[in-house]
A and B are shown apart, each in its own frame.
Chain A
Amino acid sequence: MDRKKITIDGNEAAAYVGYHNSEVIAIYPITPSSGMGELSDAWAAQGEKNIWGTIPKVSELQSEGGASGAVHGALQSGALTTTFTASQGLLLMIPNMYKIAGELTPAVFHVSARSLAASALSIFGDHSDVMAARQTGFAMLASGSVQEVMDLASVAHRATLESRIPFLHFFDGFRSSHEVNKIEQLSVQDLKMMIDDSFVIEHRKRALSPDNPFIRGTAQNPDVFFQGRETVNRFYDAAPDVVQSAMDKLFEITGRQYHLFDYIGAPDAKRVVILMGSGAETAEETVNYMTERMEEKVGIIKVRLYRPFSKKHLLQALPKTVEKIAVLDRTKEPGSIGEPLYQDVVTALNEAMDNGEAEFAMPKVIGGRYGLSSKEFTPAMVKAVFDELKKDKPKNHFTVGINDDVTFTSLDFDPNFITEGDDVKCSMFYGLGADGTVGANKNSIKIIGEETENYAQGYFVYDSKKSGSTTVSHLRFGKSPIKSSYLIQSADFVGCHQFNLLEKFDVLEKVKEGGTFLLNSPYGKDEVWDKLPKSVQETIIDKKLNFYVIDGYDVAKKSGMGARINTIMQTCFFAISGILPKDEAIAQIKNAIKKTYGAKGEAIVKKNFEAVDHTLEHLVKIDVPSSVTSEFELPPIVSDKAPDYVKETLAMMMKGKGDDVPVSQMPIDGTFPSATTRWEKRNIALQVPEWDPEVCIQCGKCAMVCPHASIRIKAYDKKYTENVPETFKWTEAIGKEYDGLAYTIQVAVEDCTGCELCVEVCPAKNKRETGLKAINMVPQIPLREKERVNYDYFLDIPEFDRTQIKVNTIKGSQLLEPLFEYSGACSGCGETPYVKLVSQLFGDRAIIANATGCSSIYGGNLPTTPWAKNKEGRGPAWSNSLFEDNAEFGFGMRLSIDKQNEYAKELLVSLKDKIGVQLVESILAAEQKSEADIYEQRERVTELKSILEKIEGDEATNLKAIADYLVKKSVWIMGGDGWAYDIGYGGLDHVLAQGKNVNILVLDTEVYSNTGGQMSKATGLGAVAKFAAAGKPTGKKDLGMMAMSYGNVYVAQIAMGSNDTQTLRAILEAEAYDGPSLIIAYSHCIAHGINMAKGMDQQKLAVDSGYWPLYRYNPENIKEGKNPLKLDSKPPKIKLEDYIYTETRYKMLTKSHPAIAKELLKAAQETVVKKWKLYEQMANFDYSIAAKEKDEAN
C-alpha cells in the first residue's frame, strides 16, 4: 500500500496517533509537549474523529497533577484516555502513574522528554524526566525519530490494551518533538488495524459502573499490601513479548520492523554502544560510516522498550562477538553508581553470566552521560565513545560533548569528524524571529518533502530572548531518509537574512568550500562588498563561495509586505539551490502561500504573490573580488569594563559559543552574579526615542512605562553639567523640591527595543509641530555612538537621594533607580513596567520568589539576567523554584526572614549591655516605614556590626551573620495568571490565609504567555486562546474577589495604562500593609494580538469598558470604620466591544465563529455590568455602623 508521505514534527506524529486512539484527552501546557495538546484541541474543534468514528473530548486541567487525575478518572470509567506532557509536568503525574499502573490500567502518556530543573531550569531535551518515572510501573517505549514517534506510538496504544500495563511513550524534547521530517503517515485504517477491539471491550468491562458495582482503591494493611503488589508480576513478565508482537503487527502493516532492542552495525562487532532516543539515530549514522568507510567492528543497540527491561531480548540483540560495551544515558543521577540504563545493562549481563544465558563472555561495560538539555550529540562524539572503548582501560562514568576540566570525566572528540555525505544537501539560515525566516523554512521543507521525491528535515534554533531574537534554521534534504539528529556541521548553502547578524555571529563558520552564501543586504551589487566585515570577506574568498545578494526589505516594502521578508528569501533559496526547476518552484511557493494565507484573505495572498514575482529580478550574483578590502573587524562582544566572569564566560554564550564553556567556569550551585544584562548591548531597535527637553513637562511617564528600563531620569547637581559629552542633553528641573537642579531624561539606545510605549504615553506635544512630542522615535544607528557616551556619562551622575524623594508621585518614583533592567522580555511587554516599578520602590531590600513563566524567563534566562544592584551593592535577590509552588516558596522566604529577624532581636536583647542599650533600643524600636527610616536603620546596623567585631562569643558571631535581617525586607511573590489562577492557586490561597507579610504581584496576561497563549482561568469570556479555539465559554475567575473574602488581605486591581498613580499607590500600600497583599496587574501581551506600542491604550480601554475595574481593598480602613474597598475607576463608559474588538484574541472569533462570537459578546457585556454593580454595592457598604457597635461593645 502506498502511504501518504507527510512532513511534520514529532509532536504532531505523537498527537496524531494519541488522538486517534483516544476518547478522552486531558491536557496541560508545558514545553516542549504543548504542541500535542494544542493539535488535539484544534482537531477536536474541527470535528476530526478517532478510529472508532467519534470525536475525542479534549479538556485542559489546572496542572499536570490535575490532568493525570482526570486521566485516571476517565480510565477508571472505561474511556480510552491519553495525555501529553514533559519534565516537571511528568513529575506531577507520578502519583497517579503509580495508581494507574497499580490498577493495571491501559493508557498511553506521550512525553517529549525534557530536562528537570535542578541548579537551573531548562526547557530542552534529555531523559531526566522519564527516568524519574521509571519506577512507577509504566512500560517505557523510546522513539528516536519522527517516523518512529508515529510508529511506536501506535505500538504503545496496541500493547497497553493487550498487556494491561500503561505506557509512557517518549521521544527527545525539541530534537524529536520539534524536528520536522518527511515520514510515511499511518492511515486511520492502519491505526484501526493495530487495535484489537476485544481488548477495548475488556477495558470497558473493568470500568467502574453502578450497574456492576465494586470498589477499587482500597486502603490495605501490613497483612496483605505486599502480596497485592506482587500480583502484577506476570503481566510485566508477559509485556515484552506483547510489545514485540505489536511491533510485528506494525511490520505486517507497514513493512517497518522494530525490535525491543535493535542492533545495527558489523555482525562481528567487538565494540557496542547502547543508547535510546534521538541520539541513537546519530549513532546509527556514525556506525554505518565507521563500518563502511573505516571497516571498524562496531555496532549499536537502540533500546526501544526500556521498561519492562527484557534481559532475554537484549542478549538476543547483542552480537556474539561483543567484547566491550558503552552504555549512554541522557540523564544524570548524582551520587548513583551509574545512570539507569547503564545499571540495567550491567545487571542484565551479570545475571545472564550467572545463569549461563549468554553466548559470549562478560564484556567490559562502561557508562557515560551525553546530551543533557539538548546538548549537541554528533558523530564525532559517538566516535569518541567507540575510540574510548578501544583503550585497555576505558574511562567509566564518562561524559561526552562537554569539557569537564574539574573532575575530568569528559572524552575528547574531533569536531572535524563529519559523516554528512554529499547525497544530503545542507542549508543554514540566520534570521530574526520577526522576519519570518523560520516560518518560510518550514514551508520550504513541506514543499521539498511533499512536492518532490526528496526526504527533508528541518530543525530550528531560537535564542533565549523574546525580543529581537535570532533564529538559525537547519535544513537537510536528500534522496534517502535523513537520520542526522544534530545541527548541520557542513553547509552547502548559508542564508543570512539580516545584514547586522554578520557582526554578531560567524555565520559562515559551517559553510563548505565552494558553497553558496545568500545575503539580505541594504547595499546593492556595487557597494555590498566593501560593507562586509573583514572576516566575512576573507571566508568568501578563501572558501570560494558563490555570493548572492538581495535587498529583501526593499522588495518587501514594494510588495506591501512591511518587514516580512520570508517569502522573498524563500524564493531566493529555491532560485539558487535549484532543487526544483524555477517555474515549478515558484508555482509551489505560490501554492504554499495560498495554503498558508488563503483563509486570511485575498489581499494577503496577493501581496505575497507580488513579493515572489518581484524577487528574482532583484536577486544578483556578486563577482567576488580576489582580495580583502575591508578594514572592519568585528566589535568585541562585551565592553572591556565588564567583570571578568562576564567577559570570560557569559560573553561566550552571547556569541553562540556556550558549548565551549568548560565545567570549571560554571557555578556549582546555580548562583550567578546580578546585573549582567547591562553588558549585553543588543542594539536591536531600528528606531529609538529621542528626548526633546524644550517640550518635556518632566512627568516621568515615559520612564515608568518603559518595559526595558531604557529610559532613565535623573535630577542632579548642576556641577555635573559642566563637562558633559558633546550631545548630552539637560534642562532645568521643574518643581520646588528640585529647585536649582539639572534634569535629564536619557535613553539607553543600545538596550532599547524600540517598542514606542514611551512615545505613546507622552502627554506633551510640540507646539510647532503637533505630530511631535517630548519624546520621539528616530533612527538608532546615527545616534548609537554618541548616545553610548551620553548614557555612560549619565550613569556616572549620582542618583537622587532616595530619602528625599516623594515616592508616591509618578515623577518622584521615576527618579528611583530601576534595579530590573534590559530584560529579554518582548518589545513593549506589559508585565515588566510593574516589575521594574517594584524594583525601583523596594529593590534594595527586596527578595523575590518568581513563578516559572515569562517573568522567570526574562528574569532569569542566561546568558545575561536583568535583576540588578545599586552603587551600594544592594538589589533584589531573586529566585525561581517551580511553576506550581511559588506562593509557598515566597512564604518560606518570609518565614525565614521573620525567624532570623526574631533571632537577631533576641540576640540583641541578650547582648544589650555589651552593644550599648541606646543602640539596641533604637534598633528594636525602629518603625522603618519610610525610605529615611530604613536608611537610618541601615546606619544603626552598620554601627552594630562594627561593635560586634569587638565582642567575643557565639552570640555576637551569630548576630553578626544575621544583623542585616534587622533592616526591613520586602518579600515579593511574582508570577503570571497561569500560576496564580491555575496551577499555583491552591498554594496562593493558602499563603493568603496565613496572614503573613508577603506581597503577591500577579502579572495577568489572561493566558499562559510563555508557552504560547493557552487558556487559563484568567482568560476573558469570549477570548480565543489555545485550548479555547472557539472562544472561552466561561467567565474570568475573580481572583481579587476571592482574596477579599478573607477580609484581612490587601487586594488591588491595577492597570498602569489607565491610571499610573493608582498603580503606584496600590503597590506602595500593598508593601506597607503588614499582612498578605495581592496585586492583580493588567498586563497587555503579545498573545493578545495587539499593536504593542498601544499596549497602555488597551489597558485604558479595558478599564473604561468596566471589564477591568481599578480598586484597592485595604483592610486597614475597616479599623477606622471605613469601607475597605475603594473603586478607583469610573462606571463603564464605553461598550465592551469597543475594547475587546480592538484585540485579535477577541476579534478573530468574529471571523472564525461569528455566531458564537455574538453570543459570547452579549454574555460578556452582561457580566461586566453585573460585576460592576456588585463592586459598586460592595464599595458603598457602610462600615461605620459595625465600627460603632464595636466601640460601644468595648
Chain B
Amino acid sequence: MDLSTTYLGLKLKNPVVPSASPLSQTVDGVKSMEDAGASAVVVYSLFEEQISHESGELDHYLSYGTESYAEATSYFPETEDYNMGPYEYLDHIANLKKACNIPIIGSLNGVSQGGWIQYAKSIQDAGADALELNIYYIPTDLNLTGSEIETMYIDTLTEIKKNLKIPVAVKLSPFFSSMANMAKRLDHAGADGLVLFNRFYQPDFDLEKLEVVPNLVLSTNWEMRLPLRWISILYGKIKASLAATSGIHSHQDVIKIMMAGGDVAMVCSELLMNGINRIPQIIDGMKTWMEENEYESIEQMKGSMSQKAVAEPAAFERANYMKTLQSFKILP
C-alpha cells in the first residue's frame, strides 16, 4: 500500500504532517514525531513582532535611565554582540536538519514587508526544506479596504519568493471575500502551496478582572469542514499544493482531506491533547481503512471527492446550504 504523497514538490512517505506548535520547540520533540511516523514537520513560528519587539525592548531597557545621574551613567555592562533576531530559531532549524531525515518546514509569522522578510532567506540558509508563510492579520482599520489587504498578501509573497529557492506555502485565513480568487492570485504570485486555514484565536473576557484575555482553545473535529470544503473547491484548479489544517484528529479526517484533494493533512491539537503516539495510530487507521475499502494508494483517492469529481458539484455551493437547513429536524 502506498501512502506517499507530494507536497510543495517534496516527496513525503505519508500525508500526516504535524503543523507548527510547541511540540517542535526541541530537537527531541521533532525527532520523536519523526520516529512516530510524521512525514515532515512544520517548525513552530518565528514571529515578526517578536523580532522587532525584542530588539526595541532591549534597546529601550538598556538605555533607560542612563546618562541621567552622575554616579550611574548606565546600568548594564557594555556588550558588543547580541544574538538579536532569529538566531536561536535558525540554529534550531540547523540542528533539526542534522538530527532528522524528514523534511523540515520553517514557519515565519508576520504581516508587513519589513526587514523581517530577510529572515525567510535565513531560514532557507539554515537548511529548511520549505517555508510556511503564516500571514496572520486582523485588519481593524476602518479605512483599509479588502483589496488593499489582498495586495499586501500578494506583495509579501512576491517579495519573499524573489529571494528564495525553497518552496513557499502560504497559510491563510478563510476571511476573504473571494477565497477562490485569492487562492488563484497567490498561486500566480508563486505560492508553492496553500495551507487552509489559519485558526484565529479569539480573545475572551475575564469577568472577575474585567480584562480581555488571550484564550487558546484547541480545535475540534467540526472545524475541519471549512478546509475540507475549500480544498474540494480548489483541487485541480490551481497549481499550488494544498494542505489542510484545523480540526484533523483521526485517520478518517486525513482520508477525507485526501479525497477532497489535499496533499497533506496537518495535525496539531490532537497531538497536543493525546500525545505524539496518535501519529502511528492515525497512519495505521488509514492503512486499515484503505485495506478494508480496497484503496491502493493515497494518489488514487486524492481529489476523488473534490468539486470537480463529485456527482453533485453544487453540494459545495449555495445549494448545499439550503439542504443543510432543510435537513435539520426538530425532535418531537
Contacts and interface: CB of A to CB of B under 8 A. Distances in A.
Interface string B57-81: 1111111111111111111111111
Interface in A36-55: 38-39, 41-42, 45-46
A208 interface: no
A466 B68 contact: yes
B68 A462 contact: yes
Contacts of A439: 63, 66-67
Contacts of B84: 599-601, 1151
Nearest to A606: B115
Contacts of A1011: 71-72
A41 B77 CA distance: 9
Interface stretch (A189-197, A902-910, A1021-1029): A1021-1029
A1129 interface: no
Contact of B77 (A38, A465, A1090): A38
Contacts, number: 155
Contacts of B54: 601, 1151
Candidate in B76, B87, B115 with the most chain A CB atoms within 10 angstroms: B76
A1187 B14 CA distance: 72
A369 to B, nearest CB: 23
Interface string A1004-1040: 0000011111000000000011111100000000000
A445 to B, nearest CB: 13
B81 A174 contact: no
Contact of A42 (B67, B77, B83): B77
A102 interface: no
A434 B64 CA distance: 7
B328 interface: no
Contacts of B72: 1009-1013, 1087
Contacts of A46: 80
A601 B76 contact: no
A600 B75 contact: no
Contacts of B63: 436, 439, 564
B85 interface: yes
Nearest to B67: A438
Nearest to A1028: B77
Contact of B62 (A432, A857, A1148, A1150): A1148
A602 B48 CA distance: 12
A592 interface: no
B36 interface: no
Interface in A1116-1157: 1144-1145, 1147-1148, 1150-1152, 1154
Interface string B197-230: 0000000000000110000000000000000000
B175 interface: no
Interface residues of A, number: 64
A433 B69 contact: yes
Nearest to B78: A42
B21 interface: no
A1030 B34 CA distance: 36
Given A42-B78, A1148-B79, A600 B59 contact: yes
A1144 B69 CA distance: 20
Nearest to A770: B210
A1026 B76 contact: yes
B71 A1089 contact: no
A1009 B75 CA distance: 8
B296 interface: no
Contacts of B75: 1009, 1012-1013, 1086-1087, 1089
A562 to B, nearest CB: 8
B65 A1024 contact: no
Interface string B40-65: 00000000000110111111111111
A462 B69 contact: yes
B88 interface: yes
A601 B81 contact: no
A471 interface: yes
B293 to A, nearest CB: 48
A601 B80 contact: no
B78 A600 contact: no
Contacts of B80: 46, 599
A867 interface: no
B77 A601 contact: no
Contacts of A1009: 72, 75
Contact of A770 (B52, B55, B211): B211
A602 B84 CA distance: 9
Candidate in B57, B79, B81, B87 with the most chain A CB atoms within 10 angstroms: B79
A353 interface: no
Contacts of A1027: 77
Contacts of A147: none
B61 A1089 contact: yes
Contact of A1012 (B73, B85, B211): B73
Nearest to A1009: B72
Nearest to B74: A1012
Contact of B70 (A462, A597, A599, A1090): A462
B59 A604 contact: yes
Contacts of B70: 31-32, 123, 174, 178, 462
B55 to A, nearest CB: 3
Interface in A1084-1105: 1086-1087, 1089-1090
B69 A469 contact: yes
A68 to B, nearest CB: 22
A124 to B, nearest CB: 8
Interface string A453-495: 0000000101011100101000000000000000000000000
Contacts of A564: 63
Given A46-B80, A599-B79, A770-B211, A471 B85 contact: no
B48 to A, nearest CB: 10
A31 B66 CA distance: 15
Contacts of A434: 65, 68
A941 interface: no
Given A433-B67, A436-B67, A1089-B64, A601 B83 contact: no
A765 interface: yes
Nearest to B53: A603
A1184 to B, nearest CB: 40
Nearest to B87: A1154
A826 interface: yes
Contact of A601 (B59, B71, B78): B59
Nearest to B205: A770
Given A469-B68, A601-B85, A1029 B79 contact: yes
Contacts of B211: 770
A857 B64 contact: no
A1028 to B, nearest CB: 8
Nearest to B115: A602
A34 B59 CA distance: 23
Interface in A321-369: none
B85 A600 contact: no
A464 B65 CA distance: 14
Interface in B119-160: none
B83 A1151 contact: yes
Contacts of A1154: 83, 87-88
A1152 B60 CA distance: 16
A1029 B64 contact: no
B55 A460 contact: no
A961 B249 CA distance: 87
B58 A601 contact: yes
Given A123-B70, A600-B55, A1024-B76, 20 more contacts: A32-B71, A39-B78, A41-B77, A46-B80, A433-B65, A564-B63, A599-B79, A600-B84, A602-B55, A770-B211, A1011-B72, A1024-B77, A1086-B75, A1087-B65, A1144-B57, A1144-B76, A1148-B58, A1148-B76, A1151-B82, A1151-B83
Which 5 pairs between the two chains have the least Cβ-Cβ distance?
Answer: A433-B68, A601-B55, A1012-B72, A1089-B61, A438-B67
16 contacts: A41-B77, A42-B79, A433-B67, A439-B67, A465-B69, A471-B68, A564-B63, A599-B81, A600-B62, A600-B82, A601-B59, A601-B82, A1009-B72, A1086-B64, A1089-B64, A1151-B84
